[in-house]
Amino acid sequence: MEDRYNHLNKFLKNKFKERTLKICIDGSFTCPNRDGSKGVGGCIFCGERGSGENTKCLSIREQVENYFKSYKADRANKFIVYFQNFTNTYDSIENLKRKYDEALIDDRIVAMDIATRADCISEDICKLLATYKQKYYVYCEIGLQTANENTHNKNNQHITNNDFIKAISLLNKYDIDVVCHVMVGLPGESHEDIVNTVNLLNSIKYSGIKIHSTYVIKDTVLEGMYNSHEYEPITIDDYIDEVVYILTHINKDVIVHRITGDPPKDILIAPSWANHKKIILNSIENRLKNDNLYQGCLFGK
């Protein structure tokens, strides 16, 4: 079957010549909008464990060792350590190096994926990340979510589009690939916001994209908004429409790392469709196929 967009799995197989899987790591980081330096409470959609709701509080080394002791390690020969929870460049250079090194303890690890915020990328951090490039494929995930700065403020993100553009420029300078996060269905957002977000992405150099629906999980500000009827999650049909718009309007060479989220079932409040990953993926594939659409077919239009 012909691919309608650039799948991450295919990219990794081409790069490493075989199946390559991720090891999700909780590095015990925090965020500037949690520790009081910019704000408290974190983003309105973010739970107490950050984006990696399923990871456990073990040392970094223990997390990696436990992964390789589990059945998961039998599914591939090559692996990516993925620093997932919260802001994984938000620390001193010395602590960052210590934490990264603690994860890179097995010869089967071939890459390092660092999830972070745009305002937590500096020249020194880029220099540190670049030191790992001789041995590993290193890339950063940056949470833009939307180009609407009013939404940034409502989300308690405390970042600006200028922060984002500066971070991308710095990472590009050190030839570190960037994966941009976009969220669909944020409070108060419309299709126009998706258009503007895509236009911002099309103005920068980045290698990959992650697209998520906005879902409500327990013990978040967004849960309070949902319970008080201040927020209504996007429908699955509208989500599919927006994902298809994004895919068809971004550059055809961008690697699509994800087109739906993976909310933990035990803390998901709404929408219920967010847990039906196969239905979402198949619906997007079918829409692209039925309308004869491809990634980038409407780029620049």
Let me know: does 301 contact 251? Beta carbons within 8 Å.
no
pLDDT at res. 56: 55
CA distances from 37 to 30, 33, 123, 144, 167 (A): 11, 7, 20, 19, 19
Residue 171 makes CB contacts below 8 A (sequence gap 6+) with: 121, 126, 140, 177, 178
Domain ranges of the chain: 8-290
Cβ burial, residue 154 (10 Å; 0-12/13-18/19+): middle
pLDDT tens-digit profile of 96-134? 999 999 999 999 999 999 999 999 999 999 999 999 999
Let me know: does 80 contact 113? Beta carbons within 8 Å.
yes
pLDDT tens-digit profile of 44-100? 888 765 444 444 568 999 999 999 999 999 999 999 999 999 999 999 999 999 999
Let me know: does 149 contact 117? Beta carbons within 8 Å.
no
Distance CA 9, CA 6 (A): 9
| CATH topology (fold) of 8-290 | TIM Barrel (3.20.20)
Report helix, strand or coil for 273: helix
pLDDT tens-digit profile of 31-43? 988 888 888 888 8
Q: CA angle at residue 26 from 24 to 32, to 5 degrees?
A: 125
